[in-house]
Chains A and B, each alone.
Chain A
């Protein structure tokens, strides 16, 4: 097995050397460098007679002049794009040629998410739910990547990837149940809104601490590799979360332990109010990948086909070669960070409007569909109406539903309730019975 893998590496290396000769560009140079780092797994054998450097920590030649390696941030890793802002395919050989049905599904999932976002955002403004985070401008990254995965691939997310669940068929009622923390919520009403999770759809429950899911995804990918079941793991995070120590841990572990994992970074320019020039000084996140020995690419996150293509190929290779891939999707966070944030305090309305009106993943896909006569004004109007109706119906059902039984505050701390917790539960009920007029018992299931 090791021998086979070694052979693959050598074949891969030869292939890259060939491409290197035919056309040199920065992407390929980076890929070549990434491959060399992979090659470090098979370091040169120690040979004291050779004139080459013999340091175990790196495989490199000596150089006789002093020169620091410059980061290239002005001319960074290029942004892979399949269609332009008018929905025109730029290079036909990169066209994924998806069926009409598939593309319509992309569009409907993106717009349904957008409709749900608008209604839940408003409902928070009216105090009907406590918190919300929209996905405006990033719908393409969710749907494009989700479509390129196998449904059994395990998803670890941050919190702005509801479109992945939407694509996998998570019902509107369950999105709403989680935000309302009602008795239908699979999470039993314990977490803040938008912390979705679904076992059946292989979407690991979201948690608030940033980047903690990144090394976890590496561990899950390692276990999946040992199962040998042709599965991959994908892990989403923002460019701000990538500054956490856990991101470093996850990247490094997945490379050294050879995990079939796709790291998907949504670089939307902001971490709450912090712009990227206060987040990092290198060439974004993608440029870090090669440093970990990881194949990396940067894509236009507003181009659902570019996202789809990159994820599809990363998934194929991650599973075949047991190695991690890094995709950095460039986007723009059109909405506020959350309902607890007013983004006009730190960025201009003009900037936001540019991305909303002139470079939006939804409008771009619509141009593509319109050009093919797959979608027109009538379809748009009908779908808007229908999607709004679907969301509003789920919304009203969720709002009417009672909250979960208060006993559920005590379960699942451990697999079984401990005697200590059992006593605390009984004590709570004794108290609540005595002071029931001070507690909102009628809102909860009995």
Chain B
């Protein structure tokens, strides 16, 4: 893991005073805040990293066994998600580990096996692979292989995820599909602060090991009103964020915001009504909500930042094709990252931006 990590989010996306060649590409999405939630009590304006802190704060306050650990979490984390927690709850509950991802996850499994609540942080999703064995062979199979004598259901692994404009190969990855092939895990990605807090609290409370991917480009960019008290949003439940009748658009994380823009463009330029679905949980995923939508619209576009081959869109696509064959009026489209490593200077050409998605909608309509 490199030393560049903390520098990643400091620069603003646009900087017009610089020479043209130095100018950064504009953000590829516009964050859409949710309506202010009313049913969970008072709200405060939070960005995504603050809503994570709020969820962790609620957890440490209510569960005396809960501990938070990882690389550099003690001083507040390189993305500020754990700021203040060590001072508030003590250094035996919020602490740094040695720099070793397989150790972090193995340690977290052990904490959970002993019955305590373990919230492990992997500094970037790109660095979760050293812990792949502990996650896939151990965490995911603990309950099954022991006949439910032992489990590590109290383990949650959080990791910053997704592209960030200039993260290149190892600060941009979206590894959810690697884990989607692993029975026993839950994999969750929120699209904004309200979902982040509610889904993270659900992951922590869930009796299964969960991986919670936080779109790091939203840590500061996404701001909305978030309830200060704890609340839970259900896992394995997709959310229809915008209803429509002609095409179903499925995405998760930042890409949901891209899809919302695509829906607006499709309406304005093509007169096409899009239904936008935030999948939220990758595994086990909510096939029912997607099916229901596709039965209605007859067309499906799935988009993710991760490479297309073996990406989770393939799973959605083939499942929907099996279940909704008679309703489909066009081939299911996948607009994803290319089958290359995530590039540095070519990021604007790499990502499945709104123009690529818009073009796919257009073709689908004209099929």
Contact = CB atoms under 8 A, between A and B. Distances in A.
A226 interface: yes
A40 to B, nearest CB: 13
B228 interface: no
A249 B133 contact: no
Nearest to A2: B91
Contacts of A223: 65, 67, 110-111, 114-116
Contacts of B102: 215, 245-246, 249
A209 B133 contact: yes
Given A212-B133, A413-B144, A207 B138 contact: yes
Nearest to A224: B114
B112 to A, nearest CB: 8
Contact of B134 (A154, A188, A215): A215
Most buried by A among B105, B106, B130: B106
A336 interface: no
B110 A205 contact: no
Given A185-B147, A212-B133, A412-B147, A222 B103 contact: no
Interface string B191-228: 00000000000000001100000000000000000000
A246 B130 CA distance: 10
B151 A415 contact: yes
Given A187-B149, A207-B141, A257-B97, A413 B184 contact: yes
B287 A420 contact: yes
B340 interface: no
A217 B98 contact: no
A420 B284 contact: yes
A197 B100 contact: no
Contacts of B186: 414
Contacts of A185: 147
Contacts of A214: 106
B37 interface: no
B178 interface: no
B292 interface: no
A194 B21 CA distance: 64
Given A197-B150, A226-B65, A219 B109 contact: yes
B157 to A, nearest CB: 13
B137 interface: yes
A218 B106 contact: yes
A248 interface: yes
A190 B144 contact: yes
Contacts of A412: 143-144, 147-148
B12 interface: no
Nearest to A204: B150
A227 B150 CA distance: 18
Contacts of A256: 97-98
B137 A207 contact: yes
A386 interface: no
A246 B106 CA distance: 8
B81 interface: no
Given A197-B149, A217-B110, A413 B100 contact: no
Interface string B82-120: 000000000010010110101101111111111110100
B181 interface: no
A279 interface: no
Interface residues of B, number: 48
A190 B147 contact: yes
B236 interface: yes
Contacts of B142: 205
B115 A187 contact: no
Given A218-B107, A223-B115, A249 B284 contact: no
B92 A212 contact: no
Interface string A217-250: 1111111101100000000000000000110111
A257 B103 CA distance: 12
Contacts, number: 154
A246 B103 contact: yes
A216 B106 CA distance: 5
B33 interface: no
Contact of A414 (B112, B113, B208): B208
Nearest to A414: B208
A253 interface: yes
B113 A220 contact: yes
Nearest to A409: B144
A220 B111 contact: yes
A204 B149 CA distance: 8
Contact of B146 (A187, A221, A224, A415): A187
A89 interface: no
Nearest to B106: A215
B211 to A, nearest CB: 14
Contacts of A218: 103, 106-107, 110
A252 B100 contact: yes
B136 to A, nearest CB: 10
A212 B138 contact: yes
A414 B184 contact: yes
B109 A205 contact: no
Interface in A284-300: none
A198 interface: yes
B337 interface: no
B183 interface: yes
A197 to B, nearest CB: 5
Contact of B107 (A188, A204, A253): A253
B363 interface: no
A186 interface: yes
B153 interface: yes
Contacts of A220: 110-111, 113-114
Nearest to B287: A420
Contacts of A123: none
A198 B138 contact: no
A399 B41 CA distance: 61
Contacts of A197: 146-147, 149-150
Contacts of A204: 113, 146, 150
B146 to A, nearest CB: 4
Contact of B143 (A215, A415, A419): A415
B145 interface: yes
A216 B138 contact: yes
Given A187-B149, A207-B137, A215 B107 contact: yes
A257 B92 CA distance: 9
Contacts of B109: 215-216, 219
Contacts of B183: 413
Most buried by B among A185, A204, A222: A222
Contacts of A156: 110
A246 B102 CA distance: 7
7 contacts: A191-B145, A198-B149, A205-B146, A217-B110, A227-B114, A411-B148, A420-B284
Given A156-B110, A218-B110, A252-B103, 11 more contacts: A186-B147, A205-B149, A209-B138, A215-B102, A216-B107, A218-B106, A220-B114, A222-B107, A250-B106, A253-B97, A418-B284
Nearest first, the 6 A-B pairs at minimum CB distance are A219-B110, A215-B106, A249-B103, A223-B114, A205-B146, A216-B110
